[in-house]
Structure 1
Amino acid sequence: MITLPEVETVQGTWAVRDVRLVVRRLLDAAGDPGLRPVLVAVDGRSGSGKSTIAGRIAALVPGSVVVHTDDVAWEESFFDWDALMAAHVLAPAREGAAVTYRPPAWDRLGRSGAIEVPAGSTLVLVEGVGAGRASLADHYDATVWVLSDEDERRRRGVERDVVLGRTPDEAADFWDRWQSEEYPFLADDRPWERATVVSCGTPGLTGLAPSDEDVVVLTSRT
């Protein structure tokens, strides 16, 4: 059984679906985008499995690009980065223009590279906590909300930060600090209510057993 925050209420029955059907639903939501890419937000709480699902979707659509909100938010506020994302990534991408963007902190702190969306991209997936927030919703054609068990999210998040070099105590402290901002932000914004598709990032806890070609989704949303 999946344990969720009290504020996060979703309706429907979990079911196994071929991931290609989910991709088709997302692309169909865009209608005919013309010469621009389809723009999809992949949102969910930290450690929910957003990057995994975004990667699986991208692998099925040639010309896809995944943009991570963590790159725009790097060395910025946890959640006060939406204006940067809108102006420098989503708006030009929606016009079909190439994106090569270095957020202010990248220049200030000497981070190399850039966030890039090549011209001619077919699908842009913006992945991260807050990707589908209300202030950015008009830029997207569709949104995926990835819902996962609370305890498993925490285990993943702490384990990920230990791999990145934090001690277990440091990773746990960072997780708690992040959650202290994530919870009120999401409770206020409620992006799951705008989702085109609600997917499960901890499918084993639903009692279902999807294959490598499947995802678990709420049938009321698909």
Structure 2
Amino acid sequence: MLPDGRGVLLVDGRSGSGKTTFAERAATLLGGAVVHTDDLAWHHDATAWDDIALEHVIGPWRRGELVDHRPPGWAAQGRDGSVTVPEGVRVLVLEGVGAGRASLALHADVVVWVQADRDEARERGLRRDVELGRTRAEAERFWDEWMTAEEPFLAGDRPWQRADLVVSGDAGGWVVAPGGPRS
């Protein structure tokens, strides 16, 4: 973290790995606020939202400015509200697939990769989507479509290689191990 006690924590991992749960727990422990990359990418682009994160979330927060941004997909689709970070927050937690990408890791104090068994992560993601109102078939179609963007992105960027910490998101609790040096 920075000398003034403020910091940016990026939480990355495959879909269904447990990123959101870890990010929310970390934010609670650290007095932080979570911004979900899914909100930045909503009806925009599954993987090309890092410019939005830098320009409208990380940059303003680092400068001590108010973060209150309505992403382009929200405006285009008529979604109410905006992405906000409460004033006085000491730790900004950005979580989602691709949060630990090279372009954002340069602006972070800590990068975490949440690792989980792929089959377990898939089942967890499908359960979550069904709980949100999709049928199982709709959830499976959405998952498979999402993987066509996620898999090549992660294979190319390899965010786990720059993680400061690797966390197990598999059932049975959290196991934390130091990551490798950032590249």
TM-score bracket, shorter-length normalisation: over 0.9
Who is 1:145 aligned against?
Answer: 113
- Residues 178-217 of structure 1 aligned to structure 2 (within 5 Å): 178-204=146-172, 210=173, 215-217=174-176
Aligned 1:50-89 pairs, distance under 5 A: 50-62=19-31, 64-89=32-57
Query: 1-side partners of 2:119 and 2:52: how far apart?
Result: 32
Q: Which amino acid aligns with 1:201?
A: G
Q: Structure 1 residues 103 and 122 mapped into 2: Cα distance closer, same or farther (>3 Å)? A: same
Higher relative contact order (CA 8 A, sep 6+): 1
For 1:132, what is the secondary structure of its paired residue? coil
- Is 2:16 the partner of 1:47? yes
Cα RMSD over matched residues? 1.5
Instruction: Return the offset for 1:220.
Output: 6.1
Q: Give a deviation string over 1:142-180, Cα, whole Å, max 9, x none.
A: 111000001101101111111222221111111111112
String of CA shifts for 1:48-82, please: whole Å, max 9, x gaps: 000111111111123x1100000000111111111
State the 1:219 CA deviation. Answer: 5.2
Deviation at 1:112, TM superposition (A): 1.2
Unaligned stretches of 5+ in structure 1?
A: 1-29, 205-209
* Contact map agreement 1:132 1:143 (CA 8 A) in 2: yes
- Tell me the equivalent position of 1:163: 131
Partner of 1:176: 144
Corresponding position: 1:111 with 2:79 = yes
CA-CA distance at 1:31 after TM superposition: 3.8
Deviation at 1:203, TM superposition (A): 4.6
TM-score in terms of structure 2 length: 0.92
Per-residue deviation, residues 77-108 of structure 1 (Å, max 9, x unmatched): 11111111111111111112110000112122
Match of 2:64 among 96, 101, 112: 96
- TM-score of the superposed pair, with normalisation by structure 1: 0.77
Contact persistence 2:164–2:179 (CA under 8 A):
no
| Greater Cα offset, 157-166 or 79-88 | 157-166
Distance in structure 2 (CA, Å) of the matches to 1:68 and 1:220: 23
Instruction: Give runs of ≥4 in structure 1 deviating > 4 Å.
Output: none
